Structure 1
Amino acid sequence: MRNENFPTGDDVLKAAERIAGLVVETPLKPVRLNGHDLWLKCESLQTGGSFKLRGASNRLALLSEAERKAGVVAFSSGNHAQGVAIAARRLGVPATIVMPSDAPAPKVAGTREQGAGIVFYDRASEDRVAISLALAAETGAVVVPSFDDPHIIAGQGTAGLEILEQCPGPVRQIVVCCGGGGLAAGIALACPDADIVIVEPEGWDDMGRSLALGHIVPVAPDAPPTSCDALQTPLVSPLTFSVLKERGAASAAVSEAEVRAAVRYAWHELGLMVEPGGSAALAAVLAGKVPVVPGTVVMVTGGNMDPAMHAEWVA
């Protein structure tokens, strides 16, 4: 039985109206890949370098006047941090972001440039949620999760509405990078006639394993290192899991080598700087782990990569 906070396709439509003018319509690029024609939805070209501005704008637009004065707290390795920071600056809302101490430098700099305060934590030994809740309790701020919120999910789903408007033919399959599942769930709600395939890094594929088992399981404590910092979610949300389970979403997991190959392909073949986590869906298709069918759209979700690291990867 759904709870009253369960997001719906109607919520995505309302979010699109609410954030009109606050986000840009990102391009849908036709690509010929491994002998197949498909489309790339380039959210790496969104303001702030990722799709995260969509959900953040929708959530912050719904704050009351009192909540706007008290401010917001978010936790993120970078893309949600920048999305919240940009939305908060535009609305005149104070923002504090709890970020891991090993967050990529461009994401830290981008968050600071928007005027948000940053509190660092140790990803291995500290709990970012507990830190955020403590800060909120101290200041009265509203916690803005990166995916465990129906308004965040609905905002992310607006990218799916754009896909339906932009694609000249029927959209039959959408391949989505997945951390906590906010974007994938939003896309699933926005595009009810398309098959959804979520893609995660190997060892961090908790959503895929959860869907296979029928209940939520966490990432293993000995999960391997991954360059996909944007997809390092230790436990998915009942909201995102429920949406994807209801839609019968399929899943795939990609290796570090496959992610690197996708980052190189995006740069050399498409002229796109795509961060590791933002390239996971593309990596799965390039590696043949997700078969391409007519009407396939692949989400390229983020472009905030350290320039020196990117130069090394694509050399």
Structure 2
Amino acid sequence: MRDAAAKIAAILPPTPLFTHEFNGITVSFKAESLQPIGAFKLRGAWHRLTALDEDQRRKGVVAFSSGNHAQGVAWAAKRLGMPATIVMPADAPRAKRDGTLALGAEVVAYDRAAGEDRIRIASELAEARGATLVPSFDDPWIIEGQGSVAIEARRQMEAMGLGEPSHVVVPCGGGGLASGIALGLSEARITIVEPEGWDDMCRSLEASWIEPVGPNPPPTACDALQTPEVSPLTFDVLARRDAKGVAVSEADVRVAQRWAAATLHLVVEPGGAVALAALLAGKVTAEPGMLIILSGGNVDIDAYAKAIAPERAEAPAIPALSGA
């Protein structure tokens, strides 16, 4: 993980760390939404692709993603001069699909509503082309790469006189980011946050075995967190670290997006805002040493405008929390 952090530091500046006071308690916010691709995913992608040998690089990579991992892999592949093919859902946000194409990757669409299996499609493409399959979370290299954010944030908090992170609240889809942070900050408490109805990691941690998403899960704006089932690899890391989980509503997420825009002046996508949503909704309580991960900022501009518009009759108000 230290190697991954060094690789990232060699090519990119640290993402900003913001702070805000809640009733006199300083909470830190790591803005991974300000990465070049708008999300943390390039960390794992860069660590994984730079580990490939020349023959593997020539044959390229195949990944499957709703958008952020897609752009991370495409960004890393372009920088390394490698071909990249991404299997994306046909209903992925247009901004993420367009961003992936703009980075030079080939996009292969599939219909997740019809139950098409993205892993099977990607695996068959990789086998046919002799390419390397790059999962979005079920891979040690990816986990190590995502965990580099923990090393970076710890250095920033220490430099600001805030001490080491003692409690990290992090969005969770497949758990690659959360498990990487759990490994990188071995003394910190970890709380993973998922959208309601897609809280399979939360329920898995409570049950002590992997629980898939139930039948007919509700629609969610958090496209980046729609993982039907977590992997044994990420579950095992988080279970061994005694991570806890909470779920937030779609209304909670909209409040968080509005708060981030109004208070931190940041555009945060729904899936990237769930950790902040948990704090604002009282699912977790502000405490010294708390670190909130804002994991992505790739939004559909029309949907984002509706989410943060104060004139929405049904839009929840921004919490009246004291701050500085």
Structure 2 residue aligned with 1:130? 120
Within the candidate set 300, 304, 308, 2:302 is matched to: 308
What CA distance in whole angstroms lies between the structure 2 residues aligned with 1:170 and 1:50?
23
Cα separation, 1, equivalents of 2:305 and 2:23: 25
Q: Say if 1:19 and 1:37 are closer, same or farther in 2 by CA, change over 3 A.
A: closer
Matched residue, 2:232 = 238
The C-alpha deviation readout for 1:206-227, integer Å capped at 9, x for no partner, is: 0010011111111012111000
Equivalent pair of 2:167/2:188 in contact (CA under 8 Å): yes
**Residues 159-308 of structure 1 aligned to structure 2 (within 5 Å):** 159-167=149-157, 168=161, 169-308=163-302
Deviation larger for 124-133 or 162-171: 162-171
> Take 1:139 and 1:308, find their aligned partners in 2: how far apart are those partners?
38
Note the alpha carbon deviations across 1:139-173, whole angstroms, 9 max, x for none. 01100000000000000000000111010223110
Unaligned segments of structure 2, at least 5 residues: 310-324
Q: CA deviation at 1:35?
A: 5.3
Query: 1:112: Cα distance to partner?
Result: 0.4
Matched residue of 1:87: which SS? helix
- Give the alignment's Cα RMSD to 1 decimal: 1.0
Q: Which residue of 1 aligns with 2:134?
A: 144
Flag as ranges the 4+ runs of structure 1 deviating above 6 A: none
1:95 aligns with 2:84: yes
AA in 1 matched with 2:204: S
Give 1:107's aligned residue. 96
Specify every segment of 5 or more residues in structure 1 that has no aligned partner in the other structure, as ranges: 1-11
Q: Is the 8 A contact 1:97 1:119 kept in 2?
A: yes
Deviation of residue 269 (structure 1)? 1.4
Q: TM-score, normalization: structure 1?
A: 0.95
CA offsets 1:160-192 (integer angstroms, 9 cap, x no match): 001110102231100000000000000011111
Q: Percent identity?
A: 58
Aligned twin of 2:7? 18
Contact 2:17–2:31 (8 Å) recurs in 1: yes
Given candidates 3, 12, 17, the residue that maps to 1:28 is 17
Of residues 55, 71, 83, the one that matches 2:44 is 55
Contact between 1:23 and 1:54, CA under 8 Å: does it hold in 2?
Answer: no
Is the CA contact 2:171–2:275 (under 8 Å) kept in the aligned structure 1? yes
